[in-house]
Chains A and B, each alone.
Chain A
């Protein structure tokens, strides 16, 4: 069946470096993608989203890139800080009758070393 998956389960970076977290999706009907951050003991926190009619979207220190040709999504975090250490999830929505139903990936653990 269709699924959302992550290339790398863990990522370790030094404070100040840029981080890139990748996500592959297989449902070509997906038209909306979202990144969440989950810290230990907390629920997922919305970071940024992007619709399929866009290739790039920027937020504060974060950028999401969407490559529909290869069904790939990435989250870039600039000047990574220790507070960015968390699990990052991508999720997709296929729209239509799936409106409101998010399919989540496994998650990538980001560790930022001071």
Chain B
């Protein structure tokens, strides 16, 4: 996919590690999102950035730290994670002015915490 890209696609980390997930959107959008997708659960919104400002933190534990340096890039910094944090982490973007809710997703990063 060239619209929204995410790296790495797969990540295995120990509970004491620090790692970062990266998302880049090539659609000229100005809003970006992080979602968590666990097995047998609906997609859970984690963070929303609108024009590089965080507008939503959906009660996410502080071991997840987002960063949005510009409207094209979004990071999720991870530290001291728990095994229950293992999931697919999805990034999405949308354009304010059009339907802000019409979000375009990346392929996700499959995270395994050991």
Contact = CB atoms under 8 A, between A and B. Distances in A.
Interface of A: 4, 32, 34, 36, 41-46, 49, 89, 91, 93, 99-107
A10 B75 CA distance: 34
Given A32-B99, A32-B101, A43-B4, A100 B94 contact: yes
B43 to A, nearest CB: 4
A102 B45 contact: yes
Nearest to B40: A106
Contact of A102 (B6, B103, B104): B103
Most buried by A among B1, B33, B43, B45: B43
A43 B101 contact: no
Interface in B72-108: 90, 92, 94, 99-108
B101 A93 contact: yes
Interface in B2-51: 4, 6, 31, 33, 40-43, 45, 48, 50
B107 A42 contact: yes
A31 to B, nearest CB: 10
B43 A49 contact: no
Sort A-B residue pairs by CB-CB distance and give the 10 closest, nearest first: A43-B105, A93-B101, A104-B43, A104-B42, A100-B100, A44-B105, A43-B107, A43-B108, A43-B106, A32-B101
